[in-house]
Structure 1
Amino acid sequence: MNRGVLVTGGSRGIGRAIAVAFAEQGDRVVVHYAAAREDAEQTLALLEGSGHTLVAGDLGDPAAAQRVADVAEAELGGVDVLVNNAGIVPTADSLQRLPEVTYLDWQRIWRQMVDVNLLGAANVTYCVAQHLIGRHAAGSIVNVGSRGAFRGEPDFPAYGASKAALHAFGQSMAVALAPEGIAVTSVAPGFVATDRQETMLATPAGAAIRDQSPFGRVATPQEVAAAVIYLASPAAAWASGTIVDLNGASYLRG
């Protein structure tokens, strides 16, 4: 298709699968990463075709978010598709289990989650949208949210709240940007078998996670990527404002 695509958080896992999928259909991809350059270079090496490149930046910093968008615009000759995939995920360091977490850690984790998962995506969206509007070009923005936005994350409330806010932000932008020909959608994956989760999925706890779905398994990064590819396509423009559940019927919302 030869579009310009910016994938934030593209160094590993879901982001890598998304970048690979866009390249496979002929798009040129800028792979964003925060600090893991070696991982990002591995993603870059997997991309078919030419015209791909890397851009680094901590999206929790508004100036860095603007620079990432501007560099991608310049490198690609225009960003046609933005995938807001970068985010801080639940780990032992972001555990907020009450009443065990200290007040200082409570505040720190909230700030980190909101700065990257919500404000980082919002700031990159703003900058990419301004470029699209300035070029009078149609485009697509896809946000990678989470099942946790609906199901709740009692041990990681800041994560769940940041993803719920990301979904709401995407819907607001869908209405705001439709007159400019820009479609905005979101996906809400459940548990995904990324390389970071391999060890945990091999434990007894992994069996319980797989049992959350009646399919008896978790998603692959490629399944999430396939949904993103569709939502970013011109054929999916009428789906703007949609939040697509990708959780193998592990959580059903009305």
Structure 2
Amino acid sequence: MAERRKALVTGASRGIGRATARAFSELGDQVAVHYSSRRDDAEKTLALLQGDGHTLIGGDLGDPEAARTLVADAVAQLGAVDVLVNNAAVAPTASNQHRVGEAEWDEWTGAWQRMFAVNLHGAVNVTWAVARRLVERGAPGAIVNVGSRGAFRGEADHPAYAASKAALHAFGQSAAITLAPHGISVTSVAPGFIATERQAAKLDGAEGDGVREQSPFGRVGTPEEVAAAIVHLASPEAQWSSGAILDLNGASYLR
């Protein structure tokens, strides 16, 4: 029987993170379910995982020290971290819109600071901590970053979100070059619109048909479809994909 891998999935309370944690558990892997503030939702994720040995890890990735500490906590509880999924992010919502030329100064600066603190710096800091331990162990591993279609097409209402995800993609490619000699792959996925809990109201409302029509499939993606891609990219068989950015948008945006 293959040895169980230890996977840390950030932002695993709901949506893509929850689906990804479940997918790893279905492979027999042990999972550290990270959450920032939604502990109740994270506990629901934990209860959905197959097998045993899973754990909850809390921490605000906007705090650099918390990012490093949560990796130490994951290692302490799982014994190691072999796979990292950088999924946690400050997502675009109606409350954090910041169109250039329209947003007030505090809205503008606040959105850029918070989105980059979590979406980029948080992922970068967790990656540093996981990669450092993998290199010290002399162990292979996999890191998958969850970026966004918006990194390529732009986001008029949320430019900081698009920029933070573009930077995450670029960081992933730099890390892929550096970590390849250690047997560590680094890849990214760039999802389009995904039917998560957070998007339910929009999909059910007046904008729903327009969102679905963005794709020639006439629908939006599911968290499980993104999770399936992440699990593949994290597999040893996908090591040669290191440095790649995989579009997951149902042909809604081609580049």
**Within 5 A, what are the aligned runs for 1:1-254?**
2-253=4-255
TM-score after normalising by structure 2: 0.98
Q: Unaligned stretches of 5+ in structure 2?
A: none
**SS in structure 1 opposite 2:155?**
coil
SS at match of 2:80: coil
2:142 aligns to what SS in structure 1? strand
Q: Deviations over 1:111-160 (max 9, x none)?
A: 00000000000000000001101111000000000000001101100000
**What's the TM-score once normalised by structure 1's chain length?**
0.99
CA distance in 2, matches of 1:150, 1:195: 24
For 1:100 and 1:114, locate their aligned partners in 2 and report how far apart those are by CA, in whole Å.
20
User: How many residue pairs get matched?
Assistant: 253
- State how far apart, in whole Å, the 1-side matches of 2:76 and 2:143 are: 18
Amino acid of the structure 1 residue aligned with 2:165: K
Letter in 2 for 1:96: H
Shift of residue 28, structure 1, vs aligned partner? 0.1
SS at match of 2:53: coil
Q: Given residue 194 of structure 1, which amino acid in structure 2 is its aligned partner? A: T
Identity %: 63
Runs of at least 5 residues in structure 1 that lack an aligned partner in the other structure? none
Whichever residue aligns with residue 29 of structure 1, its letter is: V
Q: In 2, are the aligned partners of 1:73 and 1:131 still within 8 Å (CA)?
A: no
Deviation of the 1:74 alpha carbon: 1.5
d(CA) in 1 for partners of 2:122 and 2:145? Answer: 12
Give the whole-Å Cα distance in 1 for the aligned partners of 2:254 and 2:201. 27
The residue identity in structure 2 corresponding to 1:210 is R
Shift of 1:98: 3.2
Does the residue aligned with 1:204 lie in a helix, a strand or coil?
A: coil
Which amino acid in structure 2 is aligned with residue 82 of structure 1? Answer: L
Q: What is the CA–CA distance in structure 1 between the aligned matches of 2:72 and 2:238, rounded to whole Å?
A: 26
SS of the equivalent of 2:207 reads helix
Determine helix, strand or coil for the equivalent of 1:241.
coil
Residue 204 of structure 1 deviates from its aligned partner by 2.0
User: What code does the residue aligned with 2:17 have?
Assistant: G
